[in-house]
Structure 1
Amino acid sequence: MKAESKGQHVGQVSHHELKQTLGTWQLWGIAVGLVISGEYFGWSYGWASAGTLGFVVTAIFIAAMYTTFIFSFTELTTSIPHAGGPFAYARHAFGPVGGYIAGAATLVEFVFAPPAIALAIGAYLHVQFPGLEPKHAAMAAYLIFMALNIVGVQVAAAFELFVTLLAIFELLVFMGVVSPGFAWSNFTKGGWAGADHFSMGSFHGMFAAIPFAIWFFLAIEGVAMAAEEAKNPKRSIPIAYVTGILTLVALAIGVMVFAGGAGDWTKLSNINDPLPQAMKYIVGEHSGWMHMLVWLGLFGLVASFHGIILGYSRQIFALARAGYLPEWLAKVHPRFKTPHRAILAGGVIGIAAIYSDELIQFAGQTLTANIVTMSVFGAIVMYIVSMLALFKLRRTDPNMERPFRAPLFPFFPAFALVAAVISLATMVYFNLEVALVFAAFMALGYVYFLATRSQRETAPADALLEE
């Protein structure tokens, strides 16, 4: 084992253990719930640059990337069922520096996604209560769901499954209600970056829209961070991942097509509540269907918000347990057996982001768009490192137990890797200012990483990362 992988205080392990309580259905609920808010908002910003038809092409490319990525990522998750997820895989493959890159990128993804979702919750509530300040509602959402996550993972997962099922039902209701007024002419008008015909300029818009297509599926990999709390991760996680990604692809296509065909899609392309606004075209502003959509629409946002809090807390917990963050963040609540300090720490950062308009609203983008883009940068870097770790471990550790093996290896992980590299390159080109902020985060984190080697050398022993 490498020096930094080997902890000296084995007796501390009991203070850093999570409870194994999650079954297959609960893991599926987490997989879909983590992502399902992406069907409600965020993706429509891609229409602003690509148009509806251009964004369909982008979304299909990204759906293929995610499908091949999840089938490949599941091999890592079942081989190394660790709360750190990508951090653990990269550390096992590339040592402490690889672990840092994957862990820090995952942390950016999971800490910056919740404030974007919280702002959407505030926007949905503002539709019902115009006097309610969306940011205050977003902060209240943080406080409520941090508390629910602290109470216990079993309670949190049961709630997650419940709201995920309601959110899926609500998306099906949305498609059913707008279908009588659906017209392909609405969907295709100006569908190539504002033009009616494809041109070379359409490529520019399609590449620029990549972050918002990724938002359709962002964070499904968070199931990996619940692996230590799964009853039978080697069986239940593959089922949860595969059925989860198929569920999400079907919903993404349905929501995008029906919303775009309901009316003038250009009025939906830069807002946080495209589904209620699309439904207005069909049923009017004061219909009972509208009120139902707003209230039920909150379930989709809540499902992802609640699930990603679970994800970021486990990532902070795992990094702290391994000495990559301050050790006190790895403490587990003595009664509830949840990483309560990690839950609170991520929440403080998220609430600060919500109230940081001047710092985050730049490059001509809205606050939500920049937060979404920042989160996606973290995700894409993590996807690249994870696929590289898969190839490395296949070569250097061929005898590792692999309950699930990536199908069509090496083609599936290779496609996911190449697609992620293309996505990262285009995102840097179209979002240079956000990319520089992301790079600054990673650089500052690396300075801390270099300064805390002794902290990692004295971290608790972690059998899953021993070599």
Structure 2
Amino acid sequence: MTQRVKRELKRSLKTIHLWGIAVGLVISGEYFGWSYGWSSAGTLGFLVTSLVIAAMYTTFIFSYTELTTSIPHAGGPFAYAHRAFGPNGGFIAGIATLIEFVFAPPAIALAIGAYLNVQFPALNPKHVAVAAYAIFMTLNLIGVSIAATFELVVTLLAIFELLVFMGVVAPGFSMANFVAHGWAGQDGFTPAAIGGMFAAVPFAIWFFLAIEGAAMAAEEAEDPRRTIPKAYIAGILTLVALAIGVMVAAGGVGDWRKISNINDPLPQAMKVVVGENSGWLHMLVWIGLFGLIASFHGIIMGYSRQVYALARAGYLPHALAAVNRRFQTPHWAILAGGAVGIAAIFSDEAVSYNNSSLTASILTMSVFGAIVMYIASMAALFKLRRSEPQLERPYRVPFYPLFPALALLLALVALAAMIYYNAVLFVAFAAMVGVGYVYFRLTQAARDGAPVDEMLHRGARVVE
């Protein structure tokens, strides 16, 4: 008898919870990572890049919501691409999502280390990063995950702190500071500024990376076809406003070049205005950690679900789909993703190159996975519109086909720019995909024996 996938997840998440998850997964991107884009593009060049990427994400989220509500599957992009293009499409989207979610946590962990180093200079940021992995993998292993309500609380705290940051540094803001050397290190626009803006693409993407991870909660949402669109749209608008506000505020309080290659740009920018011993600075560091922790723990949960789902479907070794008998958690999936992340933290020579920051290199690897997944998702949307016109679509992307076409076009341009400016990292990314594909081709029997998930197959009726 054919074994089928059962859907027994409790539907308890409301719109506000899904909004908290969507913003919480991303909120760490407002605290660090983006400032590396100033190194190549300057403040003005990076502002242009960020606005273009914001347009990409806005059109993407409107389009992605159609997929999420039509196929409310915990596998997210893997499910959409599999239904549209079959197992090969599912593999591409699945491994791209996996790379995105496995390489994002080490970058965030290093930022946690950098933030604590502000308070305790004797601490080694890498050691703190490993400790963060140990703590939050353990919490996931024993079943103590961040509840939706707690995720919402820490997300609200993180947003509040970003607003406090903007308010505290506002008296020290000077437009002259922000525009100085604003075009790739020059005071005026030059052709070189164009190259700098393209080189800064991955750091603009970091502002919004992982918002799509809220789709993994689709099977746990109350009325996902109504709540998810509201949560996603409110989430992307929240993040766009915060990204522009934080970037402009930080760039106008002094010489922005001094905070363009560090993991804690906001505390360092605030120091210029309030000094090193101000209570505002200490509050920023401590409350700011909530934003980093919300993203870090949330993405660990995300990668463990991806590893587990892909292993259950036969795309990864079946052992990674094992569930701990005592705690009912995918322990090997959690540990495997953590092992890769910790290895990345200590892979200075292998991961970073051309004098780039280790964090910047890990971040870029994660973005490669995200961009490929975005392209696969938009392609799946177009394909499903043609191949399954009868598929129930409670939410339809507005201005079709303009919005998904614009998202797809900008994602392709972003991928081309990233390959050009990060060739070594792209080779590493392609090698991981290649190794995965060899394994995929050699393990057909594992997929044949996996439980049948009807939601992945064309023409199947989607049942909530």
Q: Partner letter of residue 156 of structure 2? A: L
Q: CA RMSD in A?
A: 1.6
Q: CA deviation at 1:180?
A: 0.6
Residue 9 of structure 1 corresponds to: 3
Conservation of the 8 A alpha-carbon contact between 2:82 and 2:457: no
Q: Partners of 1:48 and 1:173 in 2: how far apart?
A: 26
Conservation of the 8 A alpha-carbon contact between 2:22 and 2:214: yes
Judging changes above 3 Å, is the alpha-carbon distance between structure 1 residues 153 and 412 closer, same or farther for their aligned structure 2 residues? farther
Work out whether 1:380 is the aligned partner of 2:374: no
Q: Partners of 2:27 and 2:215 in 1: how far apart?
A: 17
Conservation of the 8 A alpha-carbon contact between 2:146 and 2:297: no
CA deviation profile, 1:324-377 (whole Å, cap 9, x unmatched): 012232234556554343222211211121122222122321110100110000
Residue 86 of structure 1 corresponds to: 77
Conservation of the 8 A alpha-carbon contact between 1:149 and 1:156: no
Q: Partners of 2:52 and 2:262 in 1: how far apart?
A: 24
Q: Partners of 2:427 and 2:146 in 1: how far apart?
A: 39
Q: Partners of 1:75 and 1:152 in 2: how far apart?
A: 32
Q: CA deviation at 1:109?
A: 0.5
Residue 259 of structure 2 corresponds to: 268
1:41 aligns to what SS in structure 2? coil
CA deviation profile, 1:33-81 (whole Å, cap 9, x unmatched): 1111110110000000000000010000000000000000010011111
Conservation of the 8 A alpha-carbon contact between 1:363 and 1:433: no
Instruction: Indicate which of 102, 108, 115 corresponds to 1:124.
Output: 115
Q: CA deviation at 1:163?
A: 1.1
Q: Partners of 2:329 and 2:154 in 1: how far apart?
A: 21
Q: CA deviation at 1:229?
A: 2.3
Work out whether 1:429 is the aligned partner of 2:427: no
Q: Partner letter of residue 435 of structure 1? A: F
Residue 242 of structure 1 corresponds to: 233
Work out whether 1:439 is the aligned partner of 2:430: yes
Query: What count of residue pairs does the alignment treat as equivalent?
Result: 458
Conservation of the 8 A alpha-carbon contact between 1:50 and 1:205: yes
- Which moved further from structure 2: 314-323 or 370-379? 314-323
Q: Partner letter of residue 103 of structure 2? A: F
Q: CA deviation at 1:152?
A: 4.7
Judging changes above 3 Å, is the alpha-carbon distance between structure 1 residues 152 and 27 closer, same or farther for their aligned structure 2 residues? farther
Judging changes above 3 Å, is the alpha-carbon distance between structure 1 residues 101 and 365 closer, same or farther for their aligned structure 2 residues? same
Conservation of the 8 A alpha-carbon contact between 2:139 and 2:145: no
1:392 aligns to what SS in structure 2? helix
Q: Partners of 2:368 and 2:388 in 1: how far apart?
A: 29
Q: Partners of 1:61 and 1:339 in 2: how far apart?
A: 38
Q: CA deviation at 1:232?
A: 2.4
Work out whether 1:55 is the aligned partner of 2:49: no
Instruction: Indicate which of 336, 351, 354 corresponds to 2:342.
Output: 351
Unaligned runs of 5+ in 2: 459-464
Q: List aligned pairs for 1:82-231, cutoff 5 A.
A: 82-152=73-143, 155-231=146-222
Q: Partners of 1:332 and 1:83 in 2: how far apart?
A: 17
- Which moved further from structure 2: 409-418 or 313-322? 313-322
Q: Partner letter of residue 404 of structure 1? A: Y
Normalized against structure 1, the TM-score is what? 0.95
Judging changes above 3 Å, is the alpha-carbon distance between structure 1 residues 150 and 226 closer, same or farther for their aligned structure 2 residues? farther
Conservation of the 8 A alpha-carbon contact between 1:77 and 1:85: yes
Q: List aligned pairs for 1:411-430, cutoff 5 A.
A: 411-430=402-421
Conservation of the 8 A alpha-carbon contact between 1:226 and 1:311: no
Normalized against structure 2, the TM-score is what? 0.96
- Which moved further from structure 2: 253-262 or 333-342? 333-342
Q: CA deviation at 1:131?
A: 1.4
Q: Partners of 1:8 and 1:456 in 2: how far apart?
A: 13
Q: Partners of 2:454 and 2:246 in 1: how far apart?
A: 44
CA deviation profile, 1:257-294 (whole Å, cap 9, x unmatched): 00001111000100000000000110011111111111
- Which moved further from structure 2: 338-347 or 118-127? 338-347
Conservation of the 8 A alpha-carbon contact between 1:21 and 1:229: yes
Q: CA deviation at 1:29?
A: 0.9
Conservation of the 8 A alpha-carbon contact between 2:174 and 2:252: yes
1:27 aligns to what SS in structure 2? helix
Q: Partners of 2:15 and 2:326 in 1: how far apart?
A: 25
Q: Partner letter of residue 422 of structure 2? A: N
Between the aligned residues of both structures, percent identity stands at 71
Q: Partner letter of residue 275 of structure 2? A: G
Conservation of the 8 A alpha-carbon contact between 1:22 and 1:154: no
Q: Partner letter of residue 112 of structure 2? A: I
Residue 30 of structure 2 corresponds to: 39
Judging changes above 3 Å, is the alpha-carbon distance between structure 1 residues 231 and 334 closer, same or farther for their aligned structure 2 residues? farther
Work out whether 1:67 is the aligned partner of 2:58: yes
2:147 aligns to what SS in structure 1? helix
Unaligned runs of 5+ in 1: 1-6
Judging changes above 3 Å, is the alpha-carbon distance between structure 1 residues 216 and 97 closer, same or farther for their aligned structure 2 residues? same
Q: Partner letter of residue 130 of structure 2? A: M
CA deviation profile, 1:85-117 (whole Å, cap 9, x unmatched): 101100000000010001011101000000000
Q: CA deviation at 1:386?
A: 0.5
Residue 364 of structure 1 corresponds to: 355
Q: Partner letter of residue 397 of structure 2? A: A
Residue 299 of structure 1 corresponds to: 290
Q: CA deviation at 1:464?
A: 1.2
Q: Partners of 1:341 and 1:400 in 2: how far apart?
A: 36
Q: Partner letter of residue 280 of structure 1? A: K
Q: Partners of 1:426 and 1:450 in 2: how far apart?
A: 30
